[in-house]
Structure 1
């Protein structure tokens, strides 16, 4: 039986908010069975924790922003990189407290959060993990952009980007993998968010992106990558988009058994996809591992050092 998981111990870190440019404290606390993944604003008096959900995503411009309801002032943005790590480690139950309206951007990738969870440790809990098993293909599109979920015995991702830009066009635009903690940690977790110099300048004019720098993003001008060290992976751009998709899909709060296919998809389309899934009860079912072929188990076998 694949069991629910939480952290071994409470753990905290500090970073900078991408848009505010201010220091943000982040604390992860182990929680009991069936608590789910919940966020709380520690800087707001009497703040009430709220669980992640497809409908809880209230904005997808530049990042994924969540709240308990659209009118709530207790919002948390830039959650996708942390959510991707929780998905990779199979964490079901955790309270995430932030001291500002956004999760710290760290180095622009998921790697610092991988280290955070490795330091905390992961433990199994005495209850079965629940999966959302895709039974029928669900698809959404906007113009030529597409995101869809198909039946698959495991969790597979297939992502393609298509940017008309001389730098991005020189790198691979497609990546595909059978998802697992090991593959995520080694092949995707260090892929950083990226942006174009002209867009950063425009964001600054709107009082956004105040914490953005070459330390937490790949920045590209019209002809070259401005970061001194270049890329961490030859195809870092598309790998980061896949990383984002993993975090966006985990807004469901449960792991998916299915195949995700994205073409030029972003936060908005990823969220529209899981909303459409939840509106299609004929397209999925809730299962536990006893109802599944054990080939899916490899997805949830964490590298041994995570338990150290």
Structure 2
């Protein structure tokens, strides 16, 4: 397998979900082995302010994934674009954004995927690389926990458990292929609880959130008039986020990620634990694997102790 970039530039506009500010993003083709990098175009000395999309660039994980550099430059809510790029198996892109936050669009990665596929992808001559997990690595954070273990491919098993009867307990098992990502994961939207809205606004967050970009969860129902896109859209979105966050490894992961109630912090902690010991992983050339069986779904009642993590 060889590396992939964009066939042409892609322009995407929208508003940031937290600051509520307009954002314009331009995705550019990039050279082989350059990876995914971000550039704030509204700041001086732009080319000196490139931020690599790597786990060690993450500076905050409260409600979204934020990367930054030593100068204080930050870009927030990168996880949906990162998920789209990983879902399409794109290795090299320069992301220009004219503000501090990526646009939320419809709350999923679907529009990123659609816009990218309109211009197409371009194969590059350099071999694609993967981060191969060599031995199990486990982390815990409160009631949440996660593990990465060796696997011939990329598999995610995500379980969530919320007190809300609207969500309850859901699990989703997913053997990654780009086609299945587009069909099963890309359209799943971010979600939030109506009871939290006032506190978030007071904290200066969720200022751009609306029913157009967020699944709003009330006491006993989904508030959005169109309802859910999937019966288990909540856990699918957690999986979408996990794919985006784990792509901050710098290369696609070859391994099995199992997580209970993951959030952005847990996902990034998993990468930190993986890379903390060189014996945990190896960077090798990718080999295309055959598609595996379809994903599995389990819906169960809510656990009484379940934390509200999203």
TM-score of the aligned structures, taking structure 2 as reference length: 0.91
Equivalents in 2 of 1:111, 1:184: separation in Å?
10
Equivalents in 2 of 1:297, 1:98: separation in Å?
36
Equivalents in 1 of 2:86, 2:126: separation in Å?
18
Q: Which residue, out of 205, 210, 214, partners 1:208?
A: 205
Cα distance, 1:165–1:59 mapped onto 2, change above 3 Å: same
Equivalents in 2 of 1:68, 1:255: separation in Å?
23
Residue 59 in structure 1 maps to residue 63 in structure 2: no
Report the Cα offset of residue 207 of structure 1.
2.1
Residue 38 in structure 1 maps to residue 59 in structure 2: no
Equivalents in 2 of 1:274, 1:100: separation in Å?
27
Equivalents in 2 of 1:140, 1:270: separation in Å?
10
Residue 259 in structure 1 maps to residue 259 in structure 2: no
Report the Cα offset of residue 73 of structure 1.
2.4
Structure 1's consecutive aligned runs of 4 or more residues displaced over 3 angstroms after TM superposition are: none
Report the Cα offset of residue 144 of structure 1.
2.3
1:193 corresponds to: 190
1:302 corresponds to: none
Q: CA RMSD in A?
A: 1.2
1:306 corresponds to: none
Equivalents in 1 of 2:142, 2:207: separation in Å?
32
Structure 2 unpaired stretches of 5+: 293-310
Contact 2:51/2:67 (<8 A) preserved: no
Structure 1 residues 186-221: Cα deviation after superposition (integer angstroms, max 9, x where no partner)? 001110000001212211112221110000000012
Residue 49 in structure 1 maps to residue 46 in structure 2: no
Equivalents in 1 of 2:142, 2:63: separation in Å?
19
Equivalents in 2 of 1:274, 1:297: separation in Å?
26
- Equivalence map 1:25-104=2 (5 Å): 25-47=24-46, 48-69=49-70, 72-104=71-103
Equivalents in 2 of 1:82, 1:50: separation in Å?
15
Secondary structure class of the residue paired with 2:55:
coil
Q: Which moved more, 1:40-49 or 1:106-115?
A: 40-49
Secondary structure class of the residue paired with 2:74:
coil
1:229 corresponds to: 226
Residue 152 in structure 1 maps to residue 188 in structure 2: no
Equivalents in 2 of 1:135, 1:30: separation in Å?
32
Report the Cα offset of residue 91 of structure 1.
1.0
Residue 174 in structure 1 maps to residue 175 in structure 2: no
Equivalents in 1 of 2:173, 2:11: separation in Å?
33
Residue 220 in structure 1 maps to residue 187 in structure 2: no
Report the Cα offset of residue 143 of structure 1.
2.3
2:237 corresponds to: 240
Residue 20 in structure 1 maps to residue 19 in structure 2: yes
Instruction: Count how many residue pairs are aligned between Structure 1 and Structure 2.
Output: 290
Report the Cα offset of residue 298 of structure 1.
4.7
TM-score of the aligned structures, taking structure 1 as reference length: 0.92
Equivalents in 2 of 1:199, 1:144: separation in Å?
20
Structure 1 unpaired stretches of 5+: 300-308
